[in-house]
Amino acid sequence: MNEPQDQTEPSSDDTQLTHVITMSPEQRERVRARWAEQSKQLLQLRNRDREFHGLEREFLYAQADMLQQYEKSKDIKHPRDVGNTRQAILSRFLETSGYLPAQYAVSNTSVRVASTQGFLSREIDLLLFDRSSSIVLMKREEEYLVYPAESAYGAIQVKSRLTKSELTKAFDNIASYKALLKVGTLRPRSERGFGIIFAYDTDMELSKLQDEIKSLAALQPKELLPNLIVVLGKILYYFTDGNVGKILNADIEAIHDLGVAGNPDGQHSLYGFYSTLMELLGSGEASLVPIAQYYKLPSTAGKYSYDFMYGMIAEMGNCPTHGSFLRRLNEEGLEKVLRYCRSVKPIMYSEALAEAYGPAWAGTPDMWTRPVWIYNPDQRRLSEILVFEMSLAFDEIIVEGTSILIPYYYSIKEGIISGCGSCPAI
């Protein structure tokens, strides 16, 4: 007689796949054990029939090997060494398994990624980049490396155990990378790289983990969300629009009804990760690094990047007491300037100088005809705020492709551009 079926468990594999996330841990383990045993028996039968019968067996072997290496790494005591070892397990699989095409390279240490806009990502555990076109922008031994965004395809954050805190950190690190825009891409939808969170285990119930992923996703712009979250041997999570799963950047960014779905077919999770990775790599692009644009990067203020029009003359200040210092804009002040300038019309630079200094300062047409916006919320005469003792009394900054004149009057009055940080605030 057959053993009575547990009525609390789904009766078919498809239904099990749908509802296994909400099962109790005991029920889930029974279902997984049943799947594993059936899969083992089927593979044994296939092995007798032919030597190679598909990637399924190869990835089951690889996943078992990675999980065994993960268990062995628990003998290591120092947290940094543990993290490095577990990054190395995944990196070694990608580099030596033969499943990653030769054009793709994997960083063998934690790295950072820079963009021509002057932004720098947080620490990235594993970076996938183009082997033929990439360069290293900055290198200190093998401990601190910076790669250009243009030659990078995507980032993977590796976690030993996916706790609520570690999940939040992984979301933030992925967002810092995906916020970097590439220069010279051919397709608009490939302007950002992809991001994957890869964990070996989690201390959260799968239903709670799913809720936590959705909560964190609500705090981030969709274009900065990870493309996939993996818990090896347990589950893969991805974002949905209604009931339709979305993996590619353009599809995630276009989601209207953001949801989170999980594929709890744990024994095939490594292959699920790999096949998704290949899809993301195939949808991305890498290009030659625009070397000239990395020679001197613009300054940044929060989410904005900007340049002083007159270079080091404007960027460096001098304090009689403390010497030279770097003049910087803060994000709050820059946003205030941008809000105002978006509400007014530009003026030709020659017209602004003529109004401030008189007609003799209008200059030649080729030199002074560019449009500029002037930050002047008090509506003061330009002769009062652009000139002081017949000298320039303003900074010109370039932000979002726009030239903006910020009079010293407002910089001092509103603290838009910083002064000497060592002097006491007035």
Shared-domain flag, residues 141 and 285: yes
Burial state string for 176-211 with b = 16 or more CB within 10 A and e = fewer than 16: bbbbbebbebeeeebbbbbbbbbbbbbebebeebbe
Per residue in 93-125, pLDDT tens?
A: 999 999 999 999 999 888 999 999 999 999 999
User: pLDDT tens digit string along 326-344?
Assistant: 899 999 999 999 999 999 9
Q: Which long-range contacts (CB under 8 A, 24 or more apart) does 108-112 make?
A: 108/142, 109/84, 109/142, 109/143, 109/145, 111/145, 111/146, 111/147, 112/144, 112/145, 112/146, 112/147
- List the domain range (segments joined by +) for residue 171: 54-290
pLDDT band at 7 (very low <50, low <70, confident <90, very high): very low
Are both 152 and 205 inside the same structural domain? yes
Q: How confident is the model at residue 189 (pLDDT cuts 50, 70, 90)?
A: very low
CA distance 215 to 247: 18
Amino acid found at 236: L
Q: Are residues 118 and 193 in the same domain?
A: yes
Q: What is the pLDDT of residue 187?
A: 45
Rounded to the nearest 5 percent, the helix, strand and coil shares of the chain are 40, 25, 35
Whether 28 maps to a domain, the answer reads: no
Q: Out of 257, 290, 323, pick the residue that ends a domain.
A: 290
Hunting for tokens 């950002």 — which residue is that? 192
Alpha helices for 97-186 (secondary structure H): 164-178
Whether 426 maps to a domain, the answer reads no
| Mean pLDDT, rounded, for 158-171 | 96
**Surface-to-core class of residue 68, CB atoms within 10 Å of its CB (0-12 exposed, 13-18 middle, 19+ buried):** exposed
* Tokens encoding 97: 């398994």
Q: 294 with 137: CB under 8 angstroms?
A: yes
Does residue 286 lie within any of the structural domains? yes
- Does residue 306 sit in the same domain as residue 285? no
Distance CA 286, CA 105 (A): 12
Mark whether 254 and 156 lie in a shared domain.
yes
Q: Among residues 290, 307, 339, which one ends one of the domains?
A: 290
Q: How many domains are contained in the chain?
A: 2
Cβ 157 vs Cβ 231: under 8 Å: no
357 and 213 both lie in a single domain: no
CA distance 408 to 180: 32
In a domain, 23, yes or no: no
| Angle CA 262–163–260, to nearest 5 | 25
Q: Is the pLDDT of residue 299 over 90?
A: yes
In a domain, 397, yes or no: yes
Q: Are 173 and 277 found together in one domain?
A: yes
**Statement: residue 69 has pLDDT above 50:** yes
Q: Tell me, yes or no, whether 65 and 101 share the same domain.
A: yes
Shared domain for 233 and 313, answered yes or no, is: no
Q: What digits encode the pLDDT tens for the residues 31-49?
A: 666 666 666 666 665 666 6
Strands 323-326 and 316-319: antiparallel
Predicted local distance difference test score (pLDDT) of residue 355: 87
DSSP state of 85: H
Residue type, 77: K
